[in-house]
Structure 1
């Protein structure tokens, strides 16, 4: 299936993209001397219909009172038997063809030779070369040169000329006929060869044209397939829609960004999401104004849509390009944090040395027995902020040293069960392990990710969730839920806590670096978690939750997509 209709197909010029097209001349040379099997079969069918009609006419004339001819028939009994035999052979061949039998080149050649010989037999047994049946031989020779335009075609003409001259010579030498019949037979021979040469030339030209057309058609088909592969694998969403926002066609990236599902969809009644419909209306009002970025779903990233008319002459269709802004934002933040990481790496020892001295001095002062209570609180503040500064340095250094994801195909059911056990054993919130409820869907597709990096992400989410749940309910409890998206091709994991939740005004900033509402936090935890998810082609989002607490969702890429 093409991404775009034929009249709106993306331009695919042969001279601009033809990496795998073959040389048309080479294809022509290889096929110029051979007819297409299907075409040869159809031509032979047509020729056999013609032979049946001729044989029926000849057979019908046997039942008509003979007309007084200038030259009587030589062998009327043989002539009648020849006509009936010719009719029987043609009917038998027709039955074979109707039964689906496809004759090869040898059988076609044998059939044409039999045809030429039979007609000459009818000439010899009737009135000789002067009979009008001689004209039928020209048609047989012509058909032979169309069906097999090679040296065999010349052989048909030579055989017909020899047979005609033989019949004329026999009539002159044995039957005492006029010598002019030999001249007539020679003229017929010239016609045979002329028809053969002319039709072979015409047929070869037609075959070369057909081969060239086939070669170009194959090149166009190959280019269309290349375009389809490129368009479907692009991470930029491409949508064709009408003026009212009804989607005609969309590639895989657009399906994923707009509807959260992959693959080709056949629902012709779909319309653009509300956010894009507003952008389309704004663009139609002012085509020079670029629509604002938007988010169509909670679990989808921010996108930027660009609208253009598909064809200046066809204003009913609009082409929409959809860019994933999270990629651009991620690259900008990576550049910023990479610079910050290099700066931090350069001055880490300069900061850590005095920081270590401050922390060590505070510890020594705490161990002194004559410290006032107010001073003790000040020392605790010094220790807490020293640890926070050290944590910020460690996190920024981790960003600059982050390794590339080593993805593998993972059975989420088993992996989540193992993670839950390991986390419960290692966790300790006020002396009690975290209570994690694991809810798994019946049908859970596999996911592809780096297990160590994804473990780091879940550990961060569980740490935050357990801490906030304990602050509100005095119990460190969580729910980890795993399921599949609507298309059934992608898995997701939800981590839900029972804390106070995140205020609405802060929800859009939770993934920004150094943003935190916890005085003791660094503001890099959730940012690092989203960065690790993006490195594994997954997406981390904060869902609108009607229940208490927060719910973070990790949506994985389709398991067949390689990182």
Structure 2
């Protein structure tokens, strides 16, 4: 297989500098083309006196014609797309110096005005190839000038003034070389510094972009009309996540949720007023928006910080429950000892033959409430010693099938327990701790089966896994067919110790949401208009998990 080698034209350390060098060479070649055309035109101005003023007219004319042809050829190949390399430029400068001295030699010598054009060629060489070659150009030009002058003195009998003039021109060649070398070094140093700073700024910008994208706080940039100019990943997830109807839609064409738009209008009317927490959609967490102007003078853009205050609320509740857990741990034996004595005494009393029906009912109450107190103590203790999540990337469909099989095996009436499992084909993978999410699913399934049986007499629930509308995150719905939850209790179902079941502790759903949050998932109550309750676990984007 043939390997394509890169063109040597630009095979240097700084491609930007090479492109600039090529542009300068094109300009210089245009200058050479114009000079060669002028020299050719001068041949037709006063052809009668050329024989008396020129030493070798035929050679001079041939030199002018050849110089014009060379420059025209270079111009054509550059126009065709040829990219000259450093060695091509060096060769062109050397030819320029030699051709100019050939014209000096064949014309009137070093006193000819063409000698001034040699200075231009030396200067151009030091600009186009700013290296030691620039000094070589000056040395070559000086040697050629002195050689022509020496030959004229020795062979043609000219005065020594030509040598003095050649020496003066040599000094000018070296002065131009050293001056332009110094300027070129400073320019290269400035260019390198500017390039380094530009690269640092680009790297810093990239780092800032990555930091902003990975921040858990949502950041929006709005124009004065409330149109979104920029949104980071957290803002997309918090505001649009499962409801982004057009995932590929650019930020500038996104529209703010209506509740946030109203909050923006309120803030614009009164910047000192704090916006109330809101939920863009029923399944989204409770959010808090803070507004500030990005440009205090012009005020063209507005910066919005979106924070999930449910996390703050849950952290506060965690702190309270952690304190309660530590307190419970300290007095657990003080509670359990008398609780054990009460349970043991109830068992002994139950063995008495003289108990009537009312006494047995009282003993049943004692046993049930003793178990409930013990369960409450255990749940609060679990809150204080809950471990951190150890998340893995999971195929949700396979995991749910295995969970259903394992869950049914733990049911005493597995033959009459039905879990209808539906997994959409486009369900993306999710990243979570399997044991913790399994605990959440067990809680939701137990509740769903129990409430479905109360209403329909059948232990049946429906589990549905799918993708959010943006297609990037997975969710799991657990739908029961029970009596549902009253509208006034929807905001309280996840609060600790809230329950509508007289036998419940009120910690099950709270613990489930806590476990979901530790896996960066969100547990919510979905209002889908169907009978019963539908609880949804919306998992985080598997690639954005921090």
TM-score, structure 2 length as denominator? 0.93
Distance across 2 between alignment mates of 1:248 and 1:315: 14
Distance across 2 between alignment mates of 1:165 and 1:242: 72
Would the aligned equivalents of 1:467 and 1:476 in 2 still touch at CA under 8 Å? yes
Would the aligned equivalents of 1:491 and 1:556 in 2 still touch at CA under 8 Å? yes
In structure 2, the residue matched to 1:426 is: 410
Highest relative contact order (Cα 8 Å, sep 6+), 1 or 2? 1
> Helix, strand or coil: the match of 1:57?
helix
1:361 maps to which of 341, 345, 349: 345
In structure 1, the residue matched to 2:87 is: 106
In structure 1, the residue matched to 2:199 is: 218
Matched, 1:472 2:451: no
Matched, 1:493 2:479: no
Matched, 1:317 2:283: no
* C-alpha RMSD of matched pairs (Å): 2.1
Matched, 1:285 2:269: yes
Distance across 2 between alignment mates of 1:442 and 1:133: 82
Would the aligned equivalents of 2:416 and 2:458 in 1 still touch at CA under 8 Å? no
> Helix, strand or coil: the match of 1:249?
strand
In structure 2, the residue matched to 1:135 is: 116
CA distances 1:252-306 after superposition (whole Å, capped 9, x unpaired):
1111111115988505232221221221122122211211111111121111111
In structure 2, the residue matched to 1:328 is: 312
Distance across 2 between alignment mates of 1:337 and 1:265: 43
CA distances 1:374-424 after superposition (whole Å, capped 9, x unpaired):
111111111110010011011111111211111111111111111112212
Tell me how far 1:62 sits from its aligned partner.
Answer: 3.9
Distance across 2 between alignment mates of 1:323 and 1:67: 92
In structure 2, the residue matched to 1:337 is: 321
Distance across 2 between alignment mates of 1:480 and 1:393: 31
> Helix, strand or coil: the match of 2:299?
strand
1:439 maps to which of 422, 444, 461: 422
> Helix, strand or coil: the match of 1:268?
helix
Distance across 1 between alignment mates of 2:84 and 2:224: 56
CA distances 1:439-468 after superposition (whole Å, capped 9, x unpaired):
111211100111111111001000000000
> Helix, strand or coil: the match of 1:314?
coil
Distance across 2 between alignment mates of 1:176 and 1:416: 108
Tell me how far 1:338 sits from its aligned partner.
Answer: 1.1
Tell me how far 1:551 sits from its aligned partner.
Answer: 0.4
Would the aligned equivalents of 1:71 and 1:127 in 2 still touch at CA under 8 Å? no
In structure 2, the residue matched to 1:552 is: 535
Distance across 1 between alignment mates of 2:118 and 2:364: 116
Distance across 2 between alignment mates of 1:416 and 1:349: 39
1:190 maps to which of 171, 195, 205: 171
Matched, 1:540 2:540: no
> Helix, strand or coil: the match of 1:541?
strand
Would the aligned equivalents of 1:425 and 1:433 in 2 still touch at CA under 8 Å? no
2:288 maps to which of 272, 288, 304: 304
502-511 or 254-263: which moved more?
Answer: 254-263
Tell me how far 1:163 sits from its aligned partner.
Answer: 0.6
Tell me how far 1:128 sits from its aligned partner.
Answer: 1.2
In structure 2, the residue matched to 1:406 is: 390
CA distances 1:320-376 after superposition (whole Å, capped 9, x unpaired):
111110221121111111111111111111111111111121122223232111111
Tell me how far 1:84 sits from its aligned partner.
Answer: 2.2
Distance across 2 between alignment mates of 1:210 and 1:437: 69
Distance across 2 between alignment mates of 1:289 and 1:111: 73
Matched, 1:123 2:112: no
167-176 or 93-102: which moved more?
Answer: 93-102
TM-score, structure 1 length as denominator? 0.90
Would the aligned equivalents of 1:440 and 1:482 in 2 still touch at CA under 8 Å? yes
> Helix, strand or coil: the match of 2:465?
strand
Distance across 2 between alignment mates of 1:173 and 1:242: 83
> Helix, strand or coil: the match of 1:229?
helix
CA distances 1:95-153 after superposition (whole Å, capped 9, x unpaired):
44334333332332222111101110111111211222111101100001111223221
1:482 maps to which of 453, 458, 465: 465
Distance across 2 between alignment mates of 1:369 and 1:546: 54
In structure 2, the residue matched to 1:350 is: 334
Q: Which runs of 5+ in 2 are unaligned?
A: 1-12
546-555 or 55-64: which moved more?
Answer: 55-64
CA distances 1:10-56 after superposition (whole Å, capped 9, x unpaired):
xxxxxxxxxxxxxxxxxxxxx99x99222212212211221122223
> Helix, strand or coil: the match of 2:130?
coil
Distance across 2 between alignment mates of 1:478 and 1:314: 57
